[in-house]
Structure 1
Amino acid sequence: MKKLFIFLLLLGLFLFHLRYLSRAFDWDSCVYALNIQKDRIESAFFNPHHLGFESSGLLYWKMVRTFYQTTDIMFFLRLRILSFSLFFLGLFIWIYYKLYKDFVLAVVLALVIQVSQAFWFYSLHNDTPLIHSCLMALLFLLTIYYLRKGLNAKQLAILWFIQLFSIYFHQSNVIHFGMVPMAIFLSPNRSLGTKLRVIFVYLACLGLVTIFSYLFVGFVILKRGLGPIDEKHFSFWMFLYAAINRWGTSLGEEKNYVLYFYRGIGDAFLVFQNVIPKFRVNLFDFQNPKHLPYNLNLLFWIFSLCLGILNFRTMWAKYKQEILVLTFWLVPSIVFYTWWEGYFFEFWVGTTIGLWILNSFILNSYRNDLLPKFSNSILHTTYTLVFIFYFLTNFTFSTLPRSIGPKFGYTEGIQGPVEKLAEETIYR
């Protein structure tokens, strides 16, 4: 019965999102679509930051065209992202329920994740953030689930493949290498020496396969070399996003990391505006519609984190394993993405999922076993209200406007191909 409910819920979400699918066109989403549309393996591996995104997109596009001859590539690429996001939500609900035996909480928490701005936006957008973020969340949930079962060799192999593909879909996920090793360290029925050997084998295999994958793509598929330092040099391709001044570590104006973090994480929860980092919270003008949603969001998270600090001993006793593994996910994410390009909310999709999971641990730690039904009702009602708040705000000011289009963002240098790309006959 629960599986049927999940299926019907996901079907309802699919139909709803299909009705309000994004019609926004920006530089990244269009370049990725054009790389796939070229139908060349070299173009599918042009971006080293995400080997799996366009390459899997090319296979998917070939499959679509074998069943249905169409030129609406952007629509079907958006459909791919949407399908994966809903598939993840279904897995999230089921695994979270299996772990914590609260089906209603699993469903409501999944809905809260769904309507958070970054997750919702990139569920409807042909861009890289969503798939790898979902893979990281799935890696965390399965790591905890398998850890409770003993973490045998088959389970470690499954986690290894998920982590490898998370790196293929976004290069930056190498910073989360410590998640599974921490779980191995916590696993029962193994001596310390055995645990260290297993960790070494796991990380060595992960590192070697990742390295050889990049070497194979760079030297064999793309025919890069080690000659003169130019665009044909292997290192230029490998570190493309660090080599061009537009991204990441580029020189220029002095970075304000506090504002970057605030803006990126804030946009990931509530509707984003632009990349200019500035405070939208104003507690001295609390009821002003321009500030009220952001004020409420900030107060909710401050209140939640304060509750976690006050009740940390209980939370540690109940969720020690989860907190330790989660630390190797959230801390590297927050530090690295704040340093890299913290003001872009696309980097915070996975972090917001992890923060919602952490938030559920915090609030659940206050659960009173003497009044279980009352405790559950408080928890479920809280997340239901949060869901309604996020849904109304993000749908009204983000999803709905972007479903009417097409709308063009930054497309410098590719205006012509983008305008042709926007002529999706399926909407006519």
Structure 2
Amino acid sequence: MKKLFIILLLLGLFLFHLRYLSRAFDWDSCVYALNIQKDRIESAFFNPHHLGFESSGLLYWKMIRSIYPTTDIMFFLRLRILTFSLFFLGVFIWIYYKLYKDFFLAVVLAMVIQVSQAFWFYSLHNDTPLIHSCLMALLFLFTIYFLRKGLNQKHIAILWLIQLFSIYFHQSNVIHFGMVPMAIFLSPNRSLGKKLRIIFIYLTCLGAATILSYLFVGFIILKRGLGPIDEKHFSFWMFLYAAINRWGTSLGEDKNYVLYFYRGIGDAFLVFQNVIPKLRVNLFDFQNPKHLPYNLNLLFWIFSLSLGILNFRTMWTKFKPEILIMFFWLVPSIGFYTWWEGYFFEFWVGTIIGLWILNSYILSSFQIKVLPKFSNAILHMSYSFLFIFYFLTNFTFSTLPRSIGPKFGYTEGIQGPVEKLAEESIYR
């Protein structure tokens, strides 16, 4: 019955999202679609920071056209992202339930993740953040699940594949190399020496596979060289997004990392406005509709994380493996993305998934053993309220407006091709 419920829930979510599928067009989503539309393997590997995104998209687009001849590429690419997000939610519900034996909590927590702004927006948008973020969350969940099962060689091989593909879908996921090694270190029935050997082999194989993949794509597929330092040089392709001043580590600007962090992660929970890093919280004008949702969101997380600090001993006793492995997920994410381009909410999709899972550990640590049903009811009601709050806010001010007619963001230099992409016959 539980599996049937999950299937019906995902079907309902699919139909709902299909009705309100994003019609937003921006530079990234259009360039990725155009790279796939060119139907050339060179274009599918043009972006070095996500080898798997356009290349798998090209295979998917070929499959779609072999089944149903169409030119509505953006629609079907959005459908691809939506399908993966729903697949993730289904797996999340099942694994979380298997781990913590609370099916209702698993469902409502998955729904809270779903209606958080960054996850919801990128579930309906042809862009890179969602797939690799979901892969990192699946890596965490399966790591915990397999650790409880004993973490045998088959489990480690599965985790290795998930982590490798997470790197293929976004280069930055190399920063999370410590998650599985920590699980290996925590695994029972192994000596310290054997654990260290397994960790060494795991990381060596992961590093070798990643490096060889980039060398193969760069030198063999794209025919890059090691001659003059120009656009044909391998290093220029490999570090494209660091080599162009427009992105990430660009020089000549003052960076307020605290403000960047708050703005990016704040937008990841609630409706984003634009890339201008400014605070929308105003506790001195608390009830003003312009500030109220952001005030409530900030206070909730301050209150929640404070509870976690106060009750850390209980959390540590109950969720020690989870906390240790999550440390290697969330801390590198927060540090790196704040430094890179913290004000863009796309970089915080995976982080908010991790924070919601952490939040569930915090609130679950306050459960009263002599009153388990009462404790569960409080927990379920809390997340149900959070679901309603985030759903109403983000649907009203983000999802609904972006589902009505084409919405054009930054498309400088590709206006013509973008207008053609926007003329999708399937919407007529």
Q: Same fold (TM over 0.5)?
A: yes
Q: 1:284-327: CA deviations, max 9, x gaps? A: 00000000000000000000001101100000000000000000
Trace 1:28-427 onto structure 2 (pairs within 5 A).
28-427=28-427
Q: Distance in 1 between matches of 2:333 and 2:323?
A: 15
Instruction: Quote how far apart the aligned CAs of 1:270 are.
Output: 0.2
Instruction: Quote how far apart the aligned CAs of 1:391 are.
Output: 0.1
User: Counterpart amino acid of 1:129?
Assistant: P
Q: How does the TM-score come out when normalised to structure 2?
A: 1.00
- Contiguous gaps of at least 5 residues in structure 2: none
Instruction: Quote how far apart the aligned CAs of 1:333 are.
Output: 0.1
Q: Distance in 1 between matches of 2:301 and 2:417?
A: 43
Q: Distance in 1 between matches of 2:418 and 2:201?
A: 46
Q: Secondary structure at the match of 1:148?
A: helix
Q: Secondary structure at the match of 2:366?
A: coil
User: Counterpart amino acid of 1:262?
Assistant: Y
Q: Distance in 2 between matches of 1:260 and 1:355?
A: 18
Q: Distance in 1 between matches of 2:351 and 2:184?
A: 23
Q: Distance in 1 between matches of 2:51 and 2:114?
A: 26
Instruction: Quote how far apart the aligned CAs of 1:123 are.
Output: 0.1
Q: Distance in 2 between matches of 1:114 and 1:407?
A: 22
Instruction: Quote how far apart the aligned CAs of 1:135 are.
Output: 0.1
Q: Distance in 1 between matches of 2:404 and 2:412?
A: 22
Q: Distance in 2 between matches of 1:217 and 1:269?
A: 36
Instruction: Quote how far apart the aligned CAs of 1:253 are.
Output: 1.6
Instruction: Quote how far apart the aligned CAs of 1:369 are.
Output: 1.1
User: Counterpart amino acid of 2:123?
Assistant: S
Q: Distance in 1 between matches of 2:277 and 2:416?
A: 31
Q: Distance in 2 between matches of 1:368 and 1:402?
A: 44
Instruction: Quote how far apart the aligned CAs of 1:252 are.
Output: 2.1
Q: Distance in 2 between matches of 1:255 and 1:276?
A: 12
User: Counterpart amino acid of 2:307?
Assistant: L
Q: 1:172-207: CA deviations, max 9, x gaps? A: 000000000000000000000000000000000000
Q: Distance in 2 between matches of 1:342 and 1:261?
A: 5
2:32 is equivalent to residue 7 of structure 1: no
Number of residue pairs matched by the alignment: 428
User: Counterpart amino acid of 2:317?
Assistant: A
Q: Distance in 1 between matches of 2:396 and 2:136?
A: 29
Q: Distance in 2 between matches of 1:169 and 1:349?
A: 14
Aligned sequence identity (%):
89
User: Counterpart amino acid of 1:69?
Assistant: P
User: Counterpart amino acid of 2:411?
Assistant: T
Q: Secondary structure at the match of 1:401?
A: helix
Q: Distance in 2 between matches of 1:183 and 1:160?
A: 12
Instruction: Quote how far apart the aligned CAs of 1:405 are.
Output: 1.4
Q: CA RMSD in A?
A: 0.3
Q: Distance in 1 between matches of 2:13 and 2:78?
A: 15
Structure 1 outlier segments of 4+, above 4 Å: none
- Contiguous gaps of at least 5 residues in structure 1: none
Q: 1:365-404: CA deviations, max 9, x gaps? A: 0001100110000000000000000000000000000001
Q: Distance in 1 between matches of 2:273 and 2:427?
A: 27
